[in-house]
Structure 1
């Protein structure tokens, strides 16, 4: 089964926006769609609103609680209808490995959605879309990202990395969770997690080592949640360079001095921002093909997602 990723229907190109238009994201429709099956959903249409339709907004009530109301008549409150509709839809989304939502939307925005006071005066970009808030509460481990943020190369790579990791872990769960399988999974993800957060890698290692303290279901969910949180952290050039040097250490007795110096030079140039990660990584993979090492060959770090996506270039 292919990876399933939820997506705001308008971001997939469906004409379901309030004005009858869409917000198609080329990265999703032209690139990512080759590798995943998108599951489109528009919470406003699902709630029963037509297309086109009146606009809605997030507004604080007299108790400073956020409500989803009509932009033209705040007395028309859609909050409970949206929450009820979303609650019915969420169980079918349990198998998703990621979700792309529409930025700035009062129903789908992930962050920084405009909020007004009870008079309609803007108080800041403080809100989260009603649907997306419920989605993230129901599935705190689910990789969620906004269409606008996916124009950033680093955020795009980070999101796709999380989606593929989430899918691989879900496959582990489907085949039957055991501590042995978790240990093997954690081992394969060692350097990828280390690149994103050395602290989180150590914490995940302790969690695996203390596996007997948890029930299988509790352990499986906690590991997934902590893994996704770790990978959400940006992998800095300094941390990536540290991982690359660790990988080079596996070849310290087999590579000629000149070959090691060349790799060290590429790693340093990458760390300084003069080269993409692909430069030292490609040379490391070349040496690995020439001198196979089972432990390294199993590392997801070398290919956390399909090379054809071109995200590391």
Structure 2
């Protein structure tokens, strides 16, 4: 990873009040910092590049474990819940990370203008790819961090940087995966449509048959390809969405346990508490009381 990028991110975070994550003036661009290793955190990953500038972390998507360190990034192509943990950080060398959410409209526009565009893959593959983050992409990230010093220039200059990021991703080693995400015309996109339906109706009882119909697949094929893309079953995916939303309600809206359970689709508060403790490691009240100030800002942030 470029030492210049490291210095720029370190300088930016040194000047910021409050705690990480830092929501920047560029929409969809976040900067993370931690001076120590952290316990695992449940988050909702969105389609984005999740870059490690310094330190190291891991992420667990269903049954798939991914380790990544300086100069590496996760290319996340579909929204999914996951468990993440910073494992290498110190006061002298804090963990530093960047999140760049994708603008699919820009990506499609760039794809259409390429002389030799990559072809969208025809088969469903995993929704997360580990990639190297260096060269032109690291240069784009550096210019994004520097652009934060002149917020009045963001609306003029940032679109060009995003176009360049899309170009390098599409022309890089994972161009087919990125093209599939941008075009939305392959088998994976049918699964994504079902994921969106599951996300929008997470508090309802949704049958596998209904989701399979949205995905234009048989129930058995849908179940198999859903797990291939997300590394979890539809039921596991929905349960994690429900519990993440319930946690957000208790953190951000001060909802009590019973209200949160009902709003995310549970009929039994005791069943909700059991499943909540199984996922987060403690019953709802104890978990919420133990979370640090500012934890609410992490809910839904990759």
Please report the TM-score for the alignment, with normalisation by the length of structure 1: 0.27
Q: Which has the higher helix share?
A: 1
Q: Which has the higher strand share?
A: 2
Q: Higher RCO, 1 or 2 (CA under 8 Å, sep at least 6)?
A: 2
Please report the TM-score for the alignment, with normalisation by the length of structure 2: 0.28
